Amino acid sequence: MKTRRQIPSPSLVLCEQSGWLNVLFNGRADGRLNAGHAGVLLAERRGSYPPIDLRILKTNSRPGEVESGTRRKLKRLLSFQRYCHASRLLRGLMPHTPGSLHLLDDDYLGQAAHMLSKVDTWNFDIFLFDRLTNGNSLVTLMCHLFNVCGLIHHFQLDMVKLHRFLGMVQEDYHSHNPYHNAVHAADVTQAMYCYIKETKLAEQLTPLDVFLGLMAAAAHDVDHPGVNQPFLIKTRHHLASLYQNTSVLESHHWRSTVGMLRESGLLSHLPADMSQDIEQQLGSLILATDINRQNEFLITLREHLDNQDMDLQLATHRHFILQIALKCADVCNPCREWELSRQWSERVCEEFYRQGDMERKFDLEISPLCDQQTDSVPAIQIGFISYIVEPLFEEWQRFTEPSMLSQIMMGHLHKNKACWSRLRYVHTLAETKTHPHVEEPEPEGGQEEAEDIP
């Protein structure tokens, strides 16, 4: 019962249709919630996202497929329970070295533990880490980061409740989504940790800031159905009505997170006003990931940088930078090294194409970027990089003044864009040979570059 999401465009026209340029209108970047989200916070029940349409999502299923999916989910749950109960932590054994907390079973100590020791490096391979942790990358990563950041001790968190909450979050990501799944959440969380470690931020952030940043990263797409907001609106999904067609998915991710926080009792030992403030700030962070609000945040960030009035000693300014950091982490795939970046690009486009196939099957208008027959992966990625990623990371680089990490990310970004440009040229060239009436394109990087495809 899962589905797929949306991303970038190749041309200005497609950009306008898909919303990359709609990003240039509306909104606030003051960290406050929209009126529709204010007032009494209603937490959604876990798993409250109903199927988009069983006929749509199960059209290709074979007998026994649902049952086998249930068995897989149960197997993973049991595996996670064994992993929790067999861990050194829950057996009460002391860590071998001060400051370390062993959260992996003996079978996984080794490569996975070695990867965690380098979790603050930008070439961290989340796909490999997910395999080494038996599909528990998000839970394992979050427990490790909460420990090394001192959050478990600072907030006196109950480890059983923490595992329960993180297990809920991980399970509520739809594993059938090629892109919006728990591995994406873990990838965003790892990127967020790298940004939090940036010198300019690390010196100013409070434990609460770090807690909010990591929690929002881990849960920012929880229970994502794999389709985008326009799909929910045009199919008259109840969530579109509930959130008045505004930040529909992001609002659901937030409310679902609040529901899981309350169900797990993770914050039940904190004063009521503090836990409510945490819930509201998590909402402000998660809602900031709405791509339609890109321009409001970008304009505000530029104004702060131009005026040189960013004061990270102010809680409101720290919160705003956390919003920007989360937005960067959410769309940082083009800033990873090519092999990782390419995998993410293919995954997100697969989600688009699945949505397009559903729309075509049920005689709905095919959404921009979702038509596999006309929207190629290279064209989609070039549009995404040009209109969304580059403008955001250029300002982030200015903010970090620039840091070594931001220089590495921008280097990968430019190389990856060049790779997609060459691949688009090859793709278009192949089409001209199939359809001779189409004018043969010129390679953007010259003929020599066009021949040098990675």
Q: Is the predicted pLDDT of residue 219 greater than 60, yes or no?
A: yes
**Dihedral in degrees, nearest 10, Cα atoms 25, 16, 416, 449:** -140
Q: Is the predicted pLDDT of residue 220 greater than 70, yes or no?
A: yes
Q: Which of 100-104, 198-202, 276-280 has the lowest mean pLDDT?
A: 100-104
Burial status of residue 447 (CB atoms within 10 A of its CB: 0-12, 13-18, 19 or more):
exposed
What SS3 state is found at 141?
helix
Q: Is 183 annotated as a binding residue?
A: yes
pLDDT of residue 444: 54
Q: Is 252 annotated as a binding residue?
A: no
Contact 415, 338 (CB under 8 A): yes
Q: Is the predicted pLDDT of residue 13 greater than 80, yes or no?
A: no
CA 452 to chain centre: 31
From residue 362, how far is each of 56, 58, 233, 235, 358 by CA, in Å?
8, 13, 15, 11, 6
Q: pLDDT per residue over 303-346, tens digit each?
A: 999 999 999 999 999 999 999 999 999 999 999 999 999 999 99
Average pLDDT of the residues of the chain: 82
Q: Which of 261-270, 403-412, 435-444 has the lowest mean pLDDT?
A: 435-444
Q: Is the predicted pLDDT of residue 3 greater than 70, yes or no?
A: no
CATH number at residue 412: 1.10.1300.10
Q: Is 184 annotated as a binding residue?
A: yes
Residue 376 lies in a domain: yes
Contact 169, 221 (CB under 8 A): no
Beta-carbon contacts of residue 264 (< 8 Å; ≥ 6 apart) = 161, 164, 165, 168
Residue 28 lies in a domain: no
Matching residue, tokens 């959050």? 151
Of 144, 174, 180, 412, which residue is the catalytic one?
A: 180
Residue 421 lies in a domain: yes
Residue 2 lies in a domain: no
pLDDT of residue 7: 33
Residue 57 lies in a domain: no
Contact 296, 343 (CB under 8 A): no
pLDDT of residue 28: 41
Residue 45 lies in a domain: no
Q: Is 170 annotated as a binding residue?
A: no
Could you confirm whether 180 is annotated as catalytic? yes
pLDDT of residue 245: 97
Mean pLDDT of 167-174: 98
From residue 28, how far is each of 169, 285, 311, 398 by CA, in Å?
29, 13, 19, 21
Q: How many folded domains does the chain comprise?
A: 1
pLDDT of residue 428: 83
Q: Is 185 annotated as a binding residue?
A: no
Task: Give the closest residue to 207 by CA, choosing from 137, 155, 244, 257.
Answer: 155
Q: Could you count the other beta carbons within 10 Å of the beta carbon of residue 48?
A: 15
Residue 361 lies in a domain: yes
Question: Domain range holding 197?
Answer: 116-432
Q: How far apart are CA 214 and CA 190, in angstroms?
A: 9
Contact 294, 388 (CB under 8 A): yes
Q: pLDDT per residue over 72-101, tens digit each?
A: 544 444 444 434 443 433 333 333 444 444
Residue 338 lies in a domain: yes
